[in-house]
Amino acid sequence: MHLFYMLSFCLLRVFCLGSATVSNSFKDCSQFFYMQTPPAGIRGSNLKTICQTYGDKQRYATLYDRGHRLPLYSAYVFKKSDGQKRVDTPWMYEPQLASEDEGGNMRVLPLSADIPALVEDSQAVLEDYTDAVEYRRAPLNPDLHQAEPDDKSSTYTLTNVVPLITDFLDSSWNPYLETIRRRLNNFCHGKSFIVTGVTLPGISIRRNNRDRMTAPKHLWLAYCCPRFDRNSPYEVRFMFPSYGGYALNEHVGFNVVEVPLKTLESFLRNQADILKEMTVFYKGCLSENTFKKKRRDLTVTQPQPEERRTPNF
């Protein structure tokens, strides 16, 4: 039986669509974090970093908790997005979580009967959602926040997905993601850095009388836009360069609460031991507008040499 699983695992190489790198560091994909610095202060003994790659190109970064079979966060760069979703992309998985000897290929999930035991032990699979009738798969890095077709497709891996209450996803979280998309499209100049994550402990989801994965207690998002429109409307001007939001993963009535970044970080630190010292963005996300203004002021106030006058005789 063990030999069968290993042979099946090897045969799945033919289903390659992209690649990913799993390690204990984000050094190979630090470009997805503001100032190339991942969120700090997250503790855990069974965490893996994934440089999610699709079509031979890195797309975003994920911190994955193998014990709960759940991503703790995904970090990505936001550019102007049309808000469209892909409808033709198959769900994928990360073989690197099953074996450190595996290569860096993100693969299409096979039929349930063909999934190797090593894969099921290391991460969630589609069958885990079969009896989870209240929940739906929700990507932390959503396709509607991506601009290019391949970037959108790369979000369809279960290591980027958390189980959310269907009512909450439809009535609260998806509308919030659309609000963020429109806000950044309209008022952020250049690229934004977004981190979307979860809090634990949550509710265990079982399959065949076994705890298979964890539905998160909360969902949260923070963005950092270093260059933004200083003439934006008053109701959004205070939401730059950084802002965030969080919500309880429950039924209808639990709306997303939007808060300043420091308030969000304080909230997260109070939710779970693994987030006790968490900071999302390096130095809280600094405005490049401020830097430019200071440089202009410095130029204006720089002392000028005294003008030499020709005496009048």
DSSP states along 12-26: GGGGEEEEEEEES--
Alpha-carbon gap, residue 224 to 211, rounded angstroms: 36
The enclosing H or E element of 55 equals none
What does the block give as tokens for 126?
């589609």
Domains for the chain: give ranges and CATH numbers.
Answer: 30-298 (3.40.570.10)
Q: Is pLDDT at 297 greater than 70 in this prediction?
A: no
Query: pLDDT value at position 101?
Result: 64
CA separation for the pair 27, 21 (Å, rounded): 11
User: Residue 302 and residue 290: Cα distance in Å, rounded?
Assistant: 18
pTM, two decimal places: 0.84
Q: Output the CA torsion sign for 122, 128, 132, 137.
A: positive
pLDDT (0 to 100) of residue 295? 46
Residue whose pair of structure tokens reads 């959004």 in the numeric block: 236
User: Under a CB-based contact definition with an 8 Å cutoff, are residues 82 and 68 in contact?
Assistant: no
Q: What whole-number distance in Å separates Cα of residue 128 and Cα of residue 206?
A: 8
- Structure-token pair, residue 234: 């008053």
Is 212's pLDDT higher than 80?
yes
285: left (phi over 0), alpha (psi -120 to 50) or beta: left
Number of C-alpha atoms within 13 angstroms, CB side, residue 234?
Answer: 0
CA distance 107 to 39: 27
The phi-psi region of residue 64 (left if phi > 0; otherwise alpha if psi is between -120 and 50; otherwise beta) is beta
The answer to whether 214 and 198 are in contact (CB under 8 A) is no
Strand-by-strand arrangement of the 218-224 sheet: 92-93, 105-108, 16-23, 47-54, 57-65, 70-78, 192-199, 218-224, 242-248, 257-259
Asked whether residue 238 carries a pLDDT value surpassing 60, the answer given is yes
Range in 106-110, 185-189, 242-246 the model is least confident about: 106-110
CA 166 remoteness from chain centre: 20
Instruction: Out of 11-25, 83-97, 257-271, give the one with best mean pLDDT.
Output: 257-271
Helix (H, G, I), strand (E, B) or coil at 308: coil
pLDDT tens digit string along 156-191?
Answer: 999 999 999 999 999 999 999 999 999 999 999 989
